[in-house]
Structure 1
Amino acid sequence: MSTVADKLARKSTQRSSAKQVRLRLVYIDFWSAVKLSFLAAIAVAVVTVVSFVLIFFIVDLTGLIDRADEFFAGFSDGSFLLSQFVSLPQVLAFSAIVAILNLVVVTVLGAVMAGIYNLAVKVTGGLLVGFTSN
Structure 2
Amino acid sequence: MSSVAEKLQRKEHRSATSKQVRLKLVYIDFWSVVKLSFLVWLCLGVVLIVASVLVWVVLNSTDVFHSLDLLLRDILGNENFSITDNFGLSQVVLFTFVVAVLNTVTGTILGAIGALLYNLSVRFTGGLLVGFQNN
**TM-score w.r.t. structure 1 length?**
0.83
1:130 matched to which residue of 2? 131
SS at match of 1:112: helix
Task: Report the residue type matching 2:126 in the other structure.
Answer: G
Structure 1 unaligned residues grouped into runs of 5+: 1-15
Q: Number of aligned residue pairs: give it.
A: 119
Aligned structure 1 segments of 4 or more residues deviating by more than 3 angstroms: none
Q: CA RMSD in A?
A: 1.4
1:60 matched to which residue of 2? 60
Structure 2 unaligned residues grouped into runs of 5+: 1-15
SS at match of 2:118: helix
2:39 matched to which residue of 1? 39
SS at match of 1:27: coil
Matches within 5 A, 1:1-134: 17-74=17-74, 75-134=76-135
Identity of aligned residues (%): 45
Deviation, 1:116, is 1.0
Distance 1:88 1:21 in 2: 55
